[in-house]
């Protein structure tokens, strides 16, 4: 395995573990404070991320161990398309979040709202990446 690939994989794994731990701690604290809906959403997102992320990282580790690169020209293209699509979707997500925070969701403070925004945007990027990575004919995607 190349040193750069090793560093990239270790980085992704570390960030994933930190995000998961943050979600768990946040959910526990929120449960203690009597909240139920937002911690439940956080736990569901956490489980979803663990299952998908574990499968993804396991595949990448085994491929990298066999001498295949983590990133190649197709993955670069997939990431560019996914990032562009995720950007547009994130604008809609933030608009909906802003609207819902007045009507339906009560955030404890601005930092909680910011966290929901950042985690949501990260998830959107992850989902669009997985979607376009599986999609055939990435060259035919139009904006």
Least Å distance, CB 88 to other proteins, is 24
Least Å distance, CB 66 to other proteins, is 7
Sign of the alpha-carbon dihedral angle for 21, 23, 24, 26: positive
8 Å CB contact between 60 and 9: yes
- Considering the complex, state which of residue 37 and residue 76 has its C-beta at the smaller distance from other proteins: 76
Residues forming contacts to other proteins in the complex (CB under 8 A) are 63, 66-70, 72-75, 133, 136-139
Least Å distance, CB 32 to other proteins, is 44
- Considering the complex, state which of residue 63 and residue 105 has its C-beta at the smaller distance from other proteins: 63
- Considering the complex, state which of residue 21 and residue 72 has its C-beta at the smaller distance from other proteins: 72
Q: Return the number of other C-beta atoms located less than 10 Å from residue 132's C-beta.
A: 20
Pinpoint the alpha helices (H) of the chain.
3-32, 37-65, 73-103, 110-134
């Amino acid at each position: 395995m190349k040193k750069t690939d090793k560093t990239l994989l270790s980085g992704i794994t570390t960030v994933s573990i930190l995000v998961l731990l943050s979600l768990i701690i946040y959910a526990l604290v929120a449960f203690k404070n009597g909240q139920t809906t937002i911690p439940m959403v956080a736990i569901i997102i956490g489980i979803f991320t663990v299952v998908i992320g574990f499968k993804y990282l396991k595949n990448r580790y085994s491929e990298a161990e066999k001498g295949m690169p983590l990133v190649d020209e197709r993955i670069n293209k997939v990431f560019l398309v996914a990032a562009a699509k995720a950007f547009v979707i994130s604008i809609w997500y933030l608009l909906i979040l802003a609207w819902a925070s007045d009507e339906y969701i009560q955030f404890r403070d601005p930092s909680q709202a910011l966290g929901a925004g950042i985690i949501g945007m990260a998830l959107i990027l992850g989902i669009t990446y997985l979607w376009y990575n599986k999609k055939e004919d990435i060259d035919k995607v139009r904006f």
